[in-house]
Amino acid sequence: MAELSANDIAHMMDLSCVQANSTLEEIKNAAETAKKYNCICVFALPAHTPVLVELLKDRPDILVGGTVGFPDGGATTASKVQETKELVAMGVNEVDMVINIAWLKAGEDELVVNDIKNVIIAAQGLPVKVILECHYLTEEEIVRACGICIDAGVSFVKTGTGWAPTGATLENVKLIADSVGDNCKVKAAGGVRDRDTLLAMYKLGATRFGVGVRTAESILTGESAPDSY
The residues annotated as belonging to the active site are: 96, 158, 187
Residue 226: pLDDT over 60:
no
Give the helix/strand (H/E) hosting 184.
none
Residue 226: asked if its preceding bond is cis (omega within 30°), the reply is no
Q: What is the pLDDT of residues 53-64, one digit of tens each?
A: 999 999 999 999
Residue 213: pLDDT over 60:
yes
End-to-end CA distance of the chain: 28
For the domain spanning 7-221, the CATH number is 3.20.20.70
Taking alpha carbons only, the member of 86, 85, 34, 82 closest to residue 60 is 34
Q: What is the pLDDT of residues 149-203, one digit of tens each?
A: 999 999 999 999 999 999 999 999 999 999 999 999 999 999 899 999 999 999 9
